[in-house]
Amino acid sequence: MNGWLFIIACVAVLTWVAVCLAYDKRPRFLRPITFVTILCIWLAALWTLIRRFTEGLGAVSGMNDAAPWGLWIGADVFAGVALAAGGFVIAATVHIFRIERFKPILRPTILTAFLGYMLVAVALFIDIGRPLSWWHPLVMWQHHSIMFEVTWCVILYSTVLAIETSPPVLERLGLNKLLRIVQVTTIPVVIAGVILSTMHQSSLGSLYLIVPEKLYPLWYSPLLPVFFLISAVAAGMCVVIVESFFSAKILNHGLESILMRDLGRAAGIILFIYLVMKIADLAARGSLGMVFEGSLQSRLFLLEMVGCVALPAILLSIRKVRLLPRWLLGASLLVMAGIVLNRINVSWFGMSVSDHLHYIPTWMEIALSLAFITGGTVIFLLAVHFLPIFPKTADEPAELHG
């Protein structure tokens, strides 16, 4: 029972922070109540970090030998990487498939992905047991390991994202020669980014291929890498929608509503494909009956598939819903919640034996995770403030909610 209260408290805190960040527009992120909330979180995170690096992971986290990966891996890394998928999707749309009308949202999306990956890298640095050895996979190769692939993908794709994010910075600094070099190499860099992203998104699923008898059958599948990739693409698009919506609100510029509509439609179609594949996969492996067995895992699975995949897929397929920004936003938020739930299900509940949880995250783990989210948001707002991220024309008020 305590566990449930704890989870409800966590969700409440998370919602509170989200509301603070989303609806605190006037003097931006410096409004007192938001400021105090964020300050508390950051101080708690600082405390967590100091203790983690001096006393070890056991002192700050609920992780143990029965549950070696916790919230930082499940929510921050797995979900964080999936939510950053918008970056490669939009980059490919604009630069490879030359659908140039998506260009206005390219820069904010890439920036989001870059910040996301930076936070993932920091989270990994904190989470690994020997942080100062983080570079070992670069020189000590063991290419039979999915983790080796994951490490290389994080490092290489972060580099690619840094290059893709650099134009606004270079423009701002007036380094035109360097800017031209970056522009000339755009297409190869974007292609490399798409390949690395595909590999990385799927490899996070592949990590769990090795535990067929540990991961709950509702989530274990030989197709895990494919599921991780597809769900990340849909979620990445929805992140773009949500992020554009709140940017438009907070920064008082226009919402690219036609683009959002198209993105929503595409995300809906991908969700349908995901749903059908998931059902077919369960049926093929004879696990379809487990969906309704009433265990903790089956309930979470139902919540994930019905509430966060089927429902938004239906919503997004209805034209009238896509035309209303608030409904579009709601459906997108559902998809985002769904991907976080899915990654947590795989890494936490799915790895537990029935309803005996080996692991409950501590408040310190949650504080650090919240610090990542708020920190990322603040850096994003600062970057938008100082760099030419959003197109200038979007300032026209006529476009608002258009």
Partner 1 sequence: MKKHEHDKDLNTFNRRRFLQGLAGGTGLCVISPEGLKAHQPASAKTPSVLVDITRCIGCRSCMRACKQANDLPVTTDLTADFPGTWDAEELRFDQWTVVNPVTGHNGDGVEVTRNIKSQCMQCLEPTCVSVCPVGAMTKSELGPILYSADRCIGCRYCIMACPFDIPKFEWEGGMWAVIGKCQFCAHTRLAEGRLPACVESCPTGALKFGARDALLFEARARIKTQPDRYVNHIYGESEAGGTAWLYLSDVPFENIGFKSGVETAPMPPLTWEVLSKIPIMASAMAGLFGTVAWSLNRREAAERREASESQEESE
Chain contacts with partner 1 (rule: CB under 8 A): 53-59, 63-66, 68-69, 92, 95-98, 128-134, 136-137, 140-151, 187-188, 190-191, 194-195, 198-199, 202, 206-207, 209-214, 225, 351
State the Cα–Cα distance between residues 357 and 300, nearest whole angstrom: 14
Nearer to partner 1, 190 or 383 (CB): 190
Nearer to partner 1, 117 or 220 (CB): 220
Question: CB of residue 361 vs partner 1: minimum separation in angstroms?
Answer: 15
Question: CB of residue 367 vs partner 1: minimum separation in angstroms?
Answer: 19
Nearer to partner 1, 144 or 319 (CB): 144
Cβ contact 216:348 at 8 Å = no
Nearer to partner 1, 18 or 192 (CB): 192
Question: CB of residue 35 vs partner 1: minimum separation in angstroms?
Answer: 33
On the CB side of 350, CA atoms within 13 Å amount to 23
Paired with 68 in beta bridges are: none
Question: CB of residue 185 vs partner 1: minimum separation in angstroms?
Answer: 13
Question: CB of residue 196 vs partner 1: minimum separation in angstroms?
Answer: 9
Cβ contact 394:257 at 8 Å = no
Nearer to partner 1, 196 or 239 (CB): 196
Question: CB of residue 182 vs partner 1: minimum separation in angstroms?
Answer: 16
Nearer to partner 1, 191 or 290 (CB): 191
